Amino acid sequence: MTEITPDLPHARQTALMAHAIVIRLKEMGLPEELDEDLGTLCTDLGDIWAAHKTLSTRLDDLVDSANDWESVADCLVDLRAAIDHIGTHVETAGDPIDRVAKFAYEQVESSENGSDA
C-alpha cells in the first residue's frame, strides 16, 4: 500500500489564499451577517485556486506518462479526482458568492446615490 504523506506547503498556500480573501472582504466592510457565506466562500475559492494547480500537474502527468494503458488509466483516475474536487467547491461556492456579490453591488448603488453605507 502506498503511504500518503501530507503536503503541508500546499495546505499552507491554500489556507493563506483563503485567509487573504477573508481579509480583503472584511477590510472593505463586509458585515458580520455574511460571515457564514464568507467562511464557505473563502474556503471554496482557496481550494479551487489550489486545485487548479493540482489539475495542471495531473494534466502534465498524463502527457508525460509512460506509453502504456495502465499509466494512462492511472493518470485519468487522478484527473477525475481533481475535477470532482473542483466540482464540489464550485457547487458550494455558488450561493455564497451570489450573496456577497449582491452586497457588493448594493454598496455601489448606495455610493452612487450619495449615501454612506
Indicate whether 5 pLDDT > 90: no
Say how far apart CA 33 and CA 18 lie, in whole Å: 19
pLDDT at 116: 53
Count of alpha carbons within 13 angstroms of residue 11, beta-carbon side: 4
pLDDT at 114: 76
pLDDT band at 2; cut points 50, 70, 90: confident
- Amino acid identity of residue 35, one-letter, is D
Indicate whether 79 pLDDT > 60: yes
Q: Looking up cell 500546499, which residue turns up? A: 10
CA 96 to chain centre: 13
pLDDT band at 30; cut points 50, 70, 90: very high
DSSP helix/strand/coil, 28? coil
Work out the mean pLDDT of the chain and round it to a whole number.
93
